[in-house]
Structure 1
Amino acid sequence: MILASASPLPLILSVLAALAYLLPAALMHRMSVRSAHAWVAVAWLLQGILLVSGLLGEPPHFGFAPALSVTAWLVAAVYAIESLIYPQLPTRWTLSTIGAAAVLLAYMFPGGPMSPSTSVWLPLHLAFGIACYGLFGIAVVHAWFMNHAEKRIRQGKDSQSGLPLLTLERLTYRFVAAGFVLLSATLVVGMLFGEVVYGHAWRWDHKTVFSVLSWLTFAVLLVGRTGFGWRGKRAATMLYTGSAFLLLAYVGSRFVMEIVLSRTP
């Protein structure tokens, strides 16, 4: 459901952040790379302020759209750090467009207020879960770059990847491995300490089923890659499938609760 804020400040910050993301994307052929990076940095900071204000507000709010916004924010942060380590990595303005859409979506659908009785451990649990989204999100972005580069190479064109394919592939699956570790920790915490974190024991609801399916998919992917040398389209398909399951686990279930059923869990 859409929750209108009593203060115009969130709307102003959301519009400014979206414009700061979109401006370099719209003017990418007429704006220097340095100026474009500066605009994206401003947008990223404004988006961070909005996310913190939502999570630390009175009462704190969270839902499917803020979860997507945090994911986009983390992906942008990781990509910016990578660009410093690998300057040849090309700027991808599609990410700026996604960032702008995520900011506006989070304003329109800020989620529901968290219960005052919420455990102090729940925000930490959410942080681990959202970090998983960010790591797998950047892995999906890298896999798309890799597949696009491979396709261009087969067509006899410049790959435009900015990095050797093997380097891009290693980066992709390092993010997958790191995300898998965090996802495993998140599931273990939910399984062993569910009553402390959620106020109820572990239960097999839609979120749990999709989370476990995601974990199994990534486990098969990592075993297949390490033990059987899976690469290319097969490995990328497994990555996309596991990420889709993970997206359905929290964002999908919250979307149904908030938008389809018009109630907050």
Structure 2
Amino acid sequence: MHTYFFVLAALCDAVCAFLPSKNRLAISIGTLTGWLLHGGALWADVVAPDSLRMGFAIMLSGTLWISVAAYWLENRNFSLDGLRVLVLPCAALAVLLPAIFPGTVISLEGKTALFPWHIAIATLAYSTLTIAAFHAVLMALQESKLHTRLSPQKSGWFALAIDRLPALLTMEKLLFRLIGFGFLLLTLTVVSGVVFSEELFGQAFKWDHKTVFTMLSWVLFGVLLAGRRWRGWRGKTALSFTLIGFTLLLLAYVGSRFVLEVVLHRSVI
């Protein structure tokens, strides 16, 4: 049954992604409906008595689910049509992935109560930094468009959506707010991961691809926030750090699990 919810959620996201921006109420209601369907289907698919279903597709789907919520909430205060046409098509694709790549069932029996919280915090961290990456892409496009101004008659629908974004300084404030919150969540993910790793593997760090890429991403975002605080970093420097840090984070879990599950056909925790 939840497969139908995934399909309906994908349809809602796809339709809302390409509705004209003047239909703000329809977009808002449609996005919220798709988000609720997506969340209900994820819950039914992932949560079972004393076990969780995990995998790269489920993590990616959950990340985009939270990213849609972040877009929907931000859009109530700012006109973020450019973000809509980036986030919702990605969510429409991600919502279908768990039906194709179901992942692995992980038993919670004998595991600490920290384990589900570690997964929840990690998903929140990935989601927050994903929406920050979308912001960074929009800012790069917004800055580029300032130097190649076209008349409204020659502008496409996406260019017009970029034009309706808040000012660059406002977008930059939103970006660093997201990065700061995401960095805090990522720090909690690393700390809880140490405890979980000690319990499961008997060592504080299991130096696999996931750990290495996560730590590199954590260092990059930390350096970016320190550079912003003490050196006033902004503009292209901030955007480069954000996108590189996000790419490393994407490789840390989604990328490594994709290789293990799909390419090598190995079950992993």
Fold match (TM-score > 0.5): yes
Match in the other structure for 1:5: none
Give the 3-state SS of the residue equivalent to 2:76 in structure 1. helix
State the distance in 2 between where 1:218 and 1:161 align.
28
CA contact (8 A) 1:135 1:179 kept: yes
CA contact (8 A) 1:135 1:175 kept: yes
Match in the other structure for 1:6: none
How big is the alpha-carbon RMSD for the aligned residues of Structure 1 and Structure 2?
A: 1.9
Give the 3-state SS of the residue equivalent to 2:165 in structure 1. coil
Q: 1:168 to 1:140 in 2, by over 3 A?
A: same
Q: For residues 80-103 of structure 1, what are the alpha-carbon distances to aligned partners after superposition, in whole Å with 9 as ceiling and x for unaligned?
A: 1111122x3336233221111011
Match of 2:125 among 128, 132, 136: 132
Q: For residues 115-147 of structure 1, what are the alpha-carbon distances to aligned partners after superposition, in whole Å with 9 as ceiling and x for unaligned?
A: 243433211001111111111011111111111
Offset at residue 227 of structure 1 (A): 1.6
Match in the other structure for 1:168: 171
Offset at residue 192 of structure 1 (A): 4.2
Match of 1:209 among 209, 212, 231: 212
Are 1:51 and 2:42 counterparts?
Answer: yes
Are 1:142 and 2:145 counterparts?
Answer: no
How many residue pairs are counted as aligned between the two chains?
Answer: 254
Match of 1:63 among 49, 55, 66: 55
Matches within 5 A, 1:82-121: 82-86=74-78, 88-90=79-81, 92-117=84-109, 118-121=111-114
Match in the other structure for 1:14: 6
Match in the other structure for 1:29: 20
In the alignment, structure 1 segments of 5+ residues that lack a partner are: 1-8
Give the alignment's TM-score, normalised by structure 2: 0.88
Give the 3-state SS of the residue equivalent to 1:114 in structure 2. strand
In the alignment, structure 2 segments of 5+ residues that lack a partner are: 151-159
Are 1:155 and 2:148 counterparts?
Answer: yes
CA contact (8 A) 2:31 2:72 kept: no
State the distance in 2 between where 1:18 and 1:162 align.
25
CA contact (8 A) 2:133 2:243 kept: yes
Match of 2:70 among 64, 78, 86: 78
Q: For residues 179-235 of structure 1, what are the alpha-carbon distances to aligned partners after superposition, in whole Å with 9 as ceiling and x for unaligned?
A: 111111211222245333x35322211111111111111111112222222211121
Q: 1:200 to 1:231 in 2, by over 3 A?
A: same
Matches within 5 A, 1:244-255: 244-255=247-258
Give the alignment's TM-score, normalised by structure 1: 0.89
What residue identity is the alignment partner of 1:259?
V
State the distance in 2 between where 1:166 and 1:30 align.
23
Are 1:222 and 2:225 counterparts?
Answer: yes
What residue identity is the alignment partner of 2:198?
E
State the distance in 2 between where 1:30 and 1:195 align.
50
CA contact (8 A) 1:149 1:161 kept: no
Offset at residue 30 of structure 1 (A): 9.3
CA contact (8 A) 2:57 2:97 kept: yes
Give the 3-state SS of the residue equivalent to 1:187 in structure 2. helix
CA contact (8 A) 2:10 2:92 kept: yes
What residue identity is the alignment partner of 2:91?
G
State the distance in 2 between where 1:80 and 1:154 align.
29
State the distance in 1 between where 2:248 and 2:21 align.
40
State the distance in 2 between where 1:30 and 1:149 align.
18
Q: 1:31 to 1:160 in 2, by over 3 A?
A: closer
State the distance in 1 between where 2:125 and 2:106 align.
21
CA contact (8 A) 2:118 2:189 kept: yes
State the distance in 1 between where 2:139 and 2:8 align.
32
